Amino acid sequence: MISILKNYKWQYWLMTLIMAVVIFFRVEFDLALPEYMSEIISLITIPGSTMSQVWSVGLKMVGISLASLLCTGVATFLSARIASGFGAILRKKVFDKVESFSLEEINKFSTASLITRCTNDVQQIVMFISVGLRLLIAAPITVIGAVIKIVGKSNELTTITMVGVAIIVVFVVGLTIIVLPKFKTIQKLTDNINNVTRENLTGIRVVRAYNAESFQEDKFDQVNTQITKTHLFVNRVMSLMGPVMQIVMNGLSLSITWIGATLINASKLSLPVMMSFNMYSMQVVMSFMMLIMVFIFLPRATVSAKRINEVIATQNSICNPQNPVKAQDKTGVVEFKNVSFKYADADECMLKNISFVANKGETVAIIGSTGSGKSSLLSLIPRFYDVTEGQVMVNGIDVKEQNLADLRDKIGYVPQKAILFSGTIESNLRFGKEDATRHEMQRAVDIAQASNII
């Protein structure tokens, strides 16, 4: 999770610092309220106090409450701004990284997984920063401040409060250990369900042609059932937090009141001190409830951050050479010299000792059965993959020695599967030439024999 913060811009660090200062003042305002409440109780119980004195303290409490509300609003605004901005940076970084991937890296992660990492995983980080960052700052400050206020007032009540806090800490740590592996499983299952959905939508014609709807439904149901069971397990475990916290809070309040009353009867404690102590102890417990909210988001955010880092930290297998060679003569010659190629983790080569020359103006057809490596061979020319052995030459220069943009700018590559990007037909045509005229686009359509369908 910490490594993902390397993408934090200095503006967001500054806003985080400002937010921390604002939250500090908000906590100070909240910690002052029990003192004023104690003062009001003292005024009520002490003979000779006037109503104006009570109103004066009450107005101070109202003012402090309004100031606390204002600080809360500012902190919420800043955390939302930080989270949304940081989320945009992460999405852009992941998207840019994916665009630089070769087909080998894309196959390694799978398309469905990359989509999940760019959307769902980033959203988990955004949610954690939006909610968790404020709580993560406020909770420790509140705990420290409240403990400072109550220490020394009553050893008995302090001990009771510490026991309550210890119970909460042990419980939260135990639940976190249980659910953390499940959050990792959920993200992997999200990849799977996206993959099944994508395959079904992409191959819907084949599915219907073979009446395979029931097979696809069963396949989806298996993945859907797995992710549903995992979500139910996590939610059931996390749902224990609320009741346990309520039991601890109510038990702590009852214990403080009961023991406090005993100490008051023994003249070892005053009523105002007991009331303020009760309020401070509740603030301590509420702070740990804030931390619980953080722990709810943290495990899933940690898993998502790790998955995002895996994409960002992946080294591209195909990169531009440090000193690219530029062809002086555009001969239009493509040559394969003893080329062998195998996919990553494959046992055998898909292509072995392929050698041929395609001169300018010649038409060369690669013929073979399904899976014989025709598409694999062609993908070596624009360097979608690197050869295992041998050389692929374009214009007399090894493709590994050429700038990728320059190399691919010389090649017109038409994949087996026709793809139209979102937008208009015109915007798709301009992929080949951004400043193409209407006449040039019409000619391209005619050459592609698409005039009758446009």
Q: pLDDT per residue over 33-85, tens digit each?
A: 888 787 777 777 777 777 777 788 788 888 988 998 999 999 999 998 988 88
The verdict on 309 and 326 lying in the same domain is no
Q: Which residues on adjacent β-strands are paired with residue 391?
A: 337
The verdict on 77 and 154 lying in the same domain is yes
What is the C-alpha separation between 171 and 173, in angstroms, rounded?
A: 6
In tens, the pLDDT along 242-283 reads: 788 788 888 888 888 888 888 878 777 777 777 877 888 888
The CATH code of the domain that includes 339 is 3.40.50.300
The verdict on 272 and 365 lying in the same domain is no
The verdict on 92 and 127 lying in the same domain is yes
In tens, the pLDDT along 384-399 reads: 888 888 999 888 888 8
- Last residue of a domain, which of 266, 296, 313? 313
The verdict on 387 and 435 lying in the same domain is no
Domains in the chain, number: 3
Of the listed ranges 14-28, 131-145, 255-269, 368-382, the one predicted with least confidence: 255-269
What is the C-alpha separation between 13 and 16, in angstroms, rounded?
A: 5
Buried b (16+ CB within 10 A) or exposed e, 237-274: ebeebeebbeebbeebbebbeebbeebeeeeebbebbb
The domain in which residue 450 lies consists of: 420-454
What is the C-alpha separation between 267 and 67, in angstroms, rounded?
A: 37
In tens, the pLDDT along 122-178 reads: 888 888 888 888 888 888 888 888 888 877 777 788 888 888 888 888 887 888 788
pLDDT band of residue 338 (cuts 50, 70, 90) is very high
Strand, helix or coil at 178?
A: helix
- Last residue of a domain, which of 313, 341, 366? 313
The verdict on 278 and 347 lying in the same domain is no
- Last residue of a domain, which of 283, 313, 343? 313
To the nearest whole number, what is the mean pLDDT of the chain? 83
The verdict on 234 and 363 lying in the same domain is no
The CATH code of the domain that includes 152 is 1.20.1560.10
Look at residues 30, 59, 33, 55 and name the one whose alpha carbon lies nearest to residue 44. 55
Strand, helix or coil at 447?
A: helix
> For the residues of 7-47, what is the DSSP string, one character each?
G--HHHHHHHHHHHHHHHHHHHHHHHHHHHHHHHHHHHHST
What is the C-alpha separation between 177 and 204, in angstroms, rounded?
A: 42
The verdict on 325 and 264 lying in the same domain is no
Question: Torsions phi, psi of 342, nearest 5?
Answer: -140, 150
The verdict on 22 and 156 lying in the same domain is yes
The verdict on 87 and 183 lying in the same domain is yes
Q: Is pLDDT above 70 for 107? A: yes
Token pair in block for residue 417: 């599967």
The verdict on 248 and 118 lying in the same domain is yes
pLDDT band of residue 201 (cuts 50, 70, 90) is confident
Q: Is pLDDT above 90 for 297? A: no
pLDDT of residue 1: 60
Q: What percentage of the chain exceeds 90 in pLDDT? A: 5
Distance of CA 72 to the CA centre of its chain: 25
The verdict on 360 and 274 lying in the same domain is no
Q: Mean pLDDT across the stretch 357-373?
A: 85
pLDDT of residue 18: 93
Q: Is 451:445 a contact under the CB 8 Å cutoff?
A: yes
